[in-house]
Amino acid sequence: MSGDLQFDSQGRLHHFLTTEGLDRDTILQILDTAESFVSVGEREIKKVPLLRGKTVVNLFFESSTRTRTTFEIAAKRLSADVINVDTRVSSTTKGETLLDTIRNLEAMHTDLFVVRHSRSGAAYLVAQHVPSHVRIINAGDGSHAHPTQGMLDMFTIRRYKGSFENLKVAIVGDILHSRVARSQIHALTTLGVPEVRVIAPKTLLPTAVERLGVHSYTDMRAGLDDIDVVIMLRLQRERMESARIPSEQEYFNLYGLTTDKLRLAKKDAIVMHPGPMNRGLEIDSSVADGPQSVILPQVTNGIAVRMAVMAIIMGGKAQEEMPAKRPARRHA
């Protein structure tokens, strides 16, 4: 799947489907724009009029807590009219195809679709079939991509670590099935992070993963050595055709993040997780709720980042009316 579809003929971001192929400037534009939207969430009246009169449809064919809700909040903060389609009771249960569902919602003058689907490529398929005035954001497609999660993770890393230039980042867990890991790896390598490691049992690492520009480790203790950012991933059981770990207890012993293992990373390392978390399987509660965890700030940052992506792809007027940029803040 190529990212070309997400740019218009003048090279402007038109849809947001993947972090693969995004250049550094576009990623930084999203992060800087998100920075300018943080203040909106801190006001008493948390609204700007950038998408007033626009209709945003959240179309989630797969479960979600964080992504769906933060997209809804983000669109409302931009003053858009937001519709959440409950796909469990939509006509897809009667056999209507994805594209027919989109065509019907488009006939209601939808301007932007936020699409999550269990099939890799679903958002691409939709983007290929909508007229040019309609925009598509991929909110997660199978094991392929989750680009706004990747961007909010970059935003969180920059807020806590200041820049990307000297970082060592480790992504731990089910890399094979993780759309989040793919989106993070493309963004981290484009932003110039000098060392990105993936840590997992062999059965949960994609073949030739090093081609993505990462170093792979099967020994978590070795992989965590001197790391600045630890990103834990959930075991994606819904995407596994057969068991890929001998037992949950053994997985936790070898790959679960505990305070003991976290001591191998740098003293000021931050711990991230895109959620949903499985406590006691990939992460111990003492770490998830501990002082180095930035897991809940990730969720909060998702609002500003999703506002930024929506404002940028809706283009024109929205960009002229954006709040003034603020410098990145560093949180200890």
Closest to ligand CP by CB, 36 vs 236, is: 236
Closest to ligand CP by CB, 36 vs 138, is: 138
**Which amino acid is located at 197 in the chain?**
R
Q: Is residue 45 within 8 Å of 172, Cβ to Cβ?
A: no
Query: Pattern of binders to ligand CP over 24-43, x per CB under 6 A?
Result: --------------------
Residue of 275, 297, 315, 323 interacting with ligand CP (CB under 6 A): 275
Closest to ligand CP by CB, 36 vs 149, is: 149
List the one residue out of 311, 248, 292 whose CA is nearest residue 71.
Answer: 311
Q: What is the DSSP letter of 263?
A: T
122 is written with which tokens?
A: 């679903």
| DSSP string for residues in 126-161 | HHHHS-TT-EEEEEEETTTB-HHHHHHHHHHHHHHH
Residue of 110, 149, 156, 301 interacting with ligand CP (CB under 6 A): 149
CA pair distance 153, 181, nearest whole angstrom: 10
Range 276-295, binding ligand CP (CB under 6 A): 276
Closest to ligand CP by CB, 106 vs 174, is: 174
Tell me: does residue 64 bind ligand CP (CB under 6 A).
Answer: yes
List the one residue out of 73, 83, 12, 68 whose CA is nearest residue 48.
Answer: 73
Tell me: does residue 66 bind ligand CP (CB under 6 A).
Answer: yes
Tell me: does residue 297 bind ligand CP (CB under 6 A).
Answer: no
Give 37's contacts (C-beta < 8 A, 6+ positions apart).
Answer: 48, 77, 303, 304, 307, 308, 311, 322, 323
- Applying CB under 6 A, the span of 6-14, 28-36, 107-115, 268-276 interacting with ligand CP comes to 268-276
Residue of 35, 87, 123, 140 interacting with ligand CP (CB under 6 A): 140
CA pair distance 199, 192, nearest whole angstrom: 20
Min separation Cβ 119 and ligand CP, Å: 16
Residue of 113, 193, 274, 301 interacting with ligand CP (CB under 6 A): 274
Min separation Cβ 88 and ligand CP, Å: 16
Q: Is residue 139 within 8 Å of 60, Cβ to Cβ?
A: yes
Query: Pattern of binders to ligand CP over 179-208, x per CB under 6 A?
Result: ------------------------------
List the one residue out of 121, 99, 5, 27 whose CA is nearest residue 312.
Answer: 27
Residue of 6, 19, 67, 87 interacting with ligand CP (CB under 6 A): 67
181 is written with which tokens?
A: 């890991």
Estimate to the nearest angstrom the gap between the alpha carbon of 66 and the chain centroid.
Answer: 10
Closest to ligand CP by CB, 168 vs 306, is: 306
Min separation Cβ 233 and ligand CP, Å: 10
- Applying CB under 6 A, the span of 21-29, 65-73, 129-137, 320-328 interacting with ligand CP comes to 65-73
Q: Is residue 100 within 8 Å of 119, Cβ to Cβ?
A: no
Min separation Cβ 50 and ligand CP, Å: 23
Q: Given the rule CB under 6 A, which residues bind ligand CP?
A: 64-67, 140, 146, 149, 274-276
